[in-house]
Structure 1
Amino acid sequence: MEYLVPIEWGKCTKLQRQTLLTRPKTTSSMNVEQTVFNILNEVKIHGDKALYDLNIKLDKISLTDLHVTSQQISASSMMIGNKLKKAMKNAFDNITTFHQAQILNLVDLETQTGVRCQQITRPIKSVGLYIPSGSAALFSTVFMLAIPARIAGCKNIVICSPPPISNEILYAANLCKITEIYQVGGSQAIAALGFGTKTIPRVDKIFGPGNVYVTEAKKQISQRLEGIEIDMPAGPSELLIIADNNANPEFIAADLLSQSEHGPDSQVILLTTSLKLATKVATTIKKQLINLKRKNIIIQSLNNSLIIVLKDLQECIELSNMYGPEHLMIQTSTPRNILKLVNNAGSIFLGPWSPESAGDYASGTNHVLPTSGYTKTLSGLSIIDFQKIITVQEITAQGLMNLSSTIETLAAAEKLDAHRKAVSLRVAVLKEKV
Structure 2
Amino acid sequence: MKIFRPKDRGYAQALQRLNRRAIPDPAVRATVEEVVAAVATEGDAALIRYTEKFGGPKLEVGQLYVTPAEIVAAQASIDKETRDAIKAARTNVRTFAKKSLRKSWFTKNKQGAVVGERFDPFPRVGIYIPGGTAPLVSSAIMTCALAEAAGVPEIVAVTPADKEGKVHPALLAALAACGTHEIYRVGGAQAVAALAYGTKTIRPVQKIFGPGNSWVVEAKRQVFGVAAIDLLPGPSEVLVIADKWANPEWIAADLLAQSEHGHGSIAVLLTDDAELIEKVGKAVDAQVKLSQRPKQLAEALAHTTLIQTKDLDESIRLANEFASEHVSIATKRPGEIALQLNSSGAIFMGGISPVVGGDFLAGPSHELPTGGAGKSFAGLTADQFQRRTSVVMFDEPSLKASVPIIETFSKIEGLDAHGRSASIRVQKTKKAAKKK
TM-score, with structure 1 as normaliser:
0.91
Asked whether 1:152 is paired with 2:154, we answer no
Distance 1:271 1:415, change over 3 A: same
Instruction: Give the alignment partner of residue 18 of structure 2, picking from 18, 21, 43.
Output: 21
Alpha-carbon distance, 1:242 to partner:
0.9
CA contact (8 A) 1:24 1:265 kept: no
Asked whether 1:211 is paired with 2:207, we answer no
Aligned match of 2:227: 228
- Per-residue displacement from partner, 1:340-368 (whole Å, max 9, x unpaired)? 21111111111122111011111011011
Q: Distance in 2 between matches of 1:189 and 1:139?
A: 18
How many residues are treated as equivalent by the alignment? 427
Asked whether 1:347 is paired with 2:343, we answer no
Aligned match of 2:368: 369
Instruction: Give the alignment partner of residue 44 of structure 1, picking from 32, 40, 44.
Output: 40
Asked whether 1:69 is paired with 2:82, we answer no
Alpha-carbon distance, 1:44 to partner:
3.2
Aligned match of 2:184: 182
Instruction: Give the alignment partner of residue 84 of structure 2, picking from 83, 86, 90.
Output: 86
Q: Distance in 2 between matches of 1:341 and 1:34?
A: 39
Matched position secondary structure for 1:392: strand
Q: Distance in 1 between matches of 2:51 and 2:103?
A: 45
Distance 1:192 1:249, change over 3 A: same
Alpha-carbon distance, 1:70 to partner:
0.7
Aligned match of 1:35: 31
Q: Distance in 2 between matches of 1:22 and 1:302?
A: 20
Aligned match of 2:120: 122
Aligned match of 2:137: 139
Aligned match of 1:242: 241
Aligned match of 1:338: 337
Q: What one-letter code is carried by the residue in structure 1 that aligns with 2:337?
A: I
Q: Distance in 1 between matches of 2:111 and 2:405?
A: 14
Q: Distance in 1 between matches of 2:139 and 2:89?
A: 11
Q: Distance in 1 between matches of 2:167 and 2:59?
A: 13
Q: Distance in 1 between matches of 2:98 and 2:430?
A: 49
Matched position secondary structure for 1:190: helix
Distance 1:91 1:206, change over 3 A: same
Q: Distance in 2 between matches of 1:311 and 1:38?
A: 48
- Per-residue displacement from partner, 1:268-299 (whole Å, max 9, x unpaired)? 11111211112211111111111211222222
Q: Which is further off, 291-300 or 320-329?
A: 291-300
Q: What one-letter code is carried by the residue in structure 2 that aligns with 1:383?
A: A
Distance 1:12 1:75, change over 3 A: same
Q: Distance in 2 between matches of 1:391 and 1:359?
A: 34
Distance 1:366 1:316, change over 3 A: same
- Per-residue displacement from partner, 1:234-265 (whole Å, max 9, x unpaired)? 33221111111111111111001101111221
Asked whether 1:201 is paired with 2:200, we answer no
Q: What one-letter code is carried by the residue in structure 1 that aligns with 2:57?
A: K
Q: What one-letter code is carried by the residue in structure 1 that aligns with 2:184?
A: Y
CA contact (8 A) 1:9 1:17 kept: no
CA contact (8 A) 1:23 1:267 kept: no
Alpha-carbon distance, 1:99 to partner:
0.2
The unaligned stretches of length 5 or more in structure 1 are none
Q: CA-atom RMSD, angstroms?
A: 2.3
Aligned match of 2:262: 263
Aligned match of 1:291: 290
Alpha-carbon distance, 1:212 to partner:
2.4
Within 5 Å, give how 1:320-335 maps onto structure 2. 320-335=319-334
Q: Distance in 2 between matches of 1:279 and 1:26?
A: 33
Q: Distance in 2 between matches of 1:193 and 1:263?
A: 27
Aligned match of 1:8: 5
Alpha-carbon distance, 1:173 to partner:
1.2
Q: Distance in 2 between matches of 1:348 and 1:383?
A: 19
Within 5 Å, give how 1:416-431 maps onto structure 2. 416-431=415-430
CA contact (8 A) 2:20 2:322 kept: no
Q: Distance in 2 between matches of 1:15 and 1:318?
A: 14
- Per-residue displacement from partner, 1:116-167 (whole Å, max 9, x unpaired)? 2111112211111111111101111111111111222222211111122110
- Per-residue displacement from partner, 1:175-216 (whole Å, max 9, x unpaired)? 112231111122221222222222111112221122222223
Q: Which is further off, 359-368 or 45-54?
A: 45-54
Alpha-carbon distance, 1:430 to partner:
4.7
CA contact (8 A) 2:145 2:179 kept: no
Alpha-carbon distance, 1:48 to partner:
2.4
CA contact (8 A) 1:24 1:304 kept: no
Distance 1:235 1:90, change over 3 A: same
Distance 1:48 1:353, change over 3 A: same
Q: What one-letter code is carried by the residue in structure 1 that aligns with 2:175?
A: A
Alpha-carbon distance, 1:40 to partner:
2.8
- Per-residue displacement from partner, 1:40-97 (whole Å, max 9, x unpaired)? 3333343323334444443134455211111110111221111111111100100010
CA contact (8 A) 1:328 1:345 kept: yes
CA contact (8 A) 1:4 1:282 kept: no
Aligned match of 1:254: 253
